[in-house]
Amino acid sequence: MKSIVIHAAKDLRIEEQTAQAPGTGQVQIAMAAGGICGSDLHYFNHGGFGDIRIKEPMVLGHEVSGHITALGAGVTGLSVGQLVAISPSRPCKNCTYCDAALYNHCLNMRFYGSAMPFPHIQGAFRQVLVADASQCAPADGLSAGEAAMAEPLAVCLHAVNRAGPLVGKSVLVTGCGPIGVLSILAARRAGADLIVATDLSAFTLGMAQTAGADVVIDMANDAEGLTEYTTNKGTFDVLFECSGAAVALAGAVPAMRPGGTIVQLGLGGDMTVPMQAMTAKELSLKGSFRFHEEFHTGVSLMQKGLINVKPFITQTFPLGRAVEAFEIAGDRSCAMKAQIDFSAS
């Protein structure tokens, strides 16, 4: 089988590897679609992010779906030929945090395509994958591309859980890449009333409008665009900071209502936090990292037609054009979510 392997920054290769047979409680899957995530792009463009660096060749990818080709012993509730969305979240279920149901903080997490531990956790961008049956969410009625969007959607559903009740609330989203756009969808589904989105790209702001943002602000051309929301100590109850840029966070704080909540999703390295301004407004700052149980919920919401991710799959490339796919995926003038079709060469 062929796999997409990163060796160093800008050194992405398609390599032959050996496919495995499923063991007890596992399934073998012919991969169908894989979405290129921001972390994949960090490995591709920079060889890692922050202190996390590639130290050995690593298969990339964790936003994936495919069709089951074989069932291991003891597997029930799944069938050969079935399309499944595959959660990359594989907690150990035995550590202190797993015992407390904080599975996304598992001490022994095996998250596909992660260079955080060494040896690295190999990813899912391969033609054949063996996964635990518990990772597989039946995706009947969805396209392979939609099913592969379950992972980033789960990230945003987890962030909404972190924010608390949103019914009737005013929400600001800074950064309208895939996570920002899906956060808009998730916040609206959770009952948010006013949603304002900011970014530096007309293309991504157009995507935010498609997702249902009430107002979009191009901060590149209107640096004071949030000023009207700063009167009377601010407007927004919740901020979903999805850019990972300190300037975005600092610019949003004056528009936050006292007692509001900031949920930080964007990961781009360390950030300077406007602590004094946040203290004076008694703002709560919450991190949001990965997900676990929200994965199956996201698939269900898509199947019921309650969240539509189709408009945000902007490019699909065959496996043989993986390098081109990675080059396009980070271009926010034309790409929201670029995916790889593993069934096409």
Question: Could you read off the pLDDT of 112-144 as tens digits, one per residue?
Answer: 999 999 999 999 999 999 999 999 999 999 999
Mean pLDDT of the 158-169 span: 98
CA distances from 214 to 157, 173, 205 (A): 20, 11, 11
The CA distance from 16 to 247, in Å, is 43
CATH code of domain 156-287: 3.40.50.720
Amino acid at 98: C
Q: Is 155 left (phi over 0), alpha (psi -120 to 50) or beta?
A: alpha
Q: CA nearest 150: which of 342, 323, 293, 334? A: 293
Indicate whether 43 pLDDT > 90. yes
Instruction: Take residue 199 and report the two structure tokens written for it.
Output: 């970014």
pLDDT of residue 49: 86
Residues making up the chain, counted from first to last: 345
pLDDT of residue 344: 78
Beta strands in the chain (DSSP E): 2-8, 11-16, 26-35, 48-49, 52-53, 58-59, 63-71, 83-86, 128-132, 136-138, 170-174, 194-199, 215-218, 236-241, 256-264, 284-287, 313-318, 337-341
pLDDT band for position 6 (cuts 50, 70, 90): very high
The CA distance from 311 to 301, in Å, is 16
* The dihedral sign for the CA sequence 58, 64, 69, 70: positive
Mean pLDDT score of the chain, rounded to an integer?
A: 96
In three-state secondary structure terms, 99 is helix
Under 8 Å between Cβ of 244 and 224? no
Indicate whether 345 pLDDT > 80. no
pLDDT of residue 189: 98
Backbone angles phi, psi at 267, to 5 degrees: -120, 105
pLDDT of residue 267: 83
Mean pLDDT of the 231-256 span: 97
Domain boundaries, the chain: 2-149+309-341, 156-287
State the DSSP code for 121.
Answer: B
The CA distance from 204 to 333, in Å, is 7
Instruction: Take residue 145 and report the two structure tokens written for it.
Output: 């591309």
Instruction: Provide the whole-model pTM.
Output: 0.96
Under 8 Å between Cβ of 189 and 298? no
For 234-248, b/e burial (b = at least 16 CB within 10 A) is: bbbbbbbbbbbbbeb
> Into which CATH architecture does domain 2-149+309-341 fall?
Alpha-Beta Complex (3.90)
Q: Percent of the chain at pLDDT above 70?
A: 99
Question: Could you read off the pLDDT of 268-327 as tens digits, one per residue?
Answer: 777 889 999 999 999 999 999 999 999 999 999 999 999 999 999 999 999 999 999 999
pLDDT of residue 271: 86
Mean pLDDT of the 199-216 span: 98
Q: CA nearest 269: which of 37, 53, 63, 55? A: 53
The CA distance from 338 to 328, in Å, is 7
pLDDT of residue 86: 98
Residue 262, beta-bridge partner list: 239, 285
Indicate whether 45 pLDDT > 80. yes
Q: Is 89 left (phi over 0), alpha (psi -120 to 50) or beta?
A: beta
**Terminal-residue alpha carbon distance, the chain:** 12
Question: Could you read off the pLDDT of 9-28 as tens digits, one per residue?
Answer: 999 999 999 999 999 999 99
The CA distance from 13 to 327, in Å, is 13
Indicate whether 179 pLDDT > 90. yes
Mean pLDDT of the 73-88 span: 97
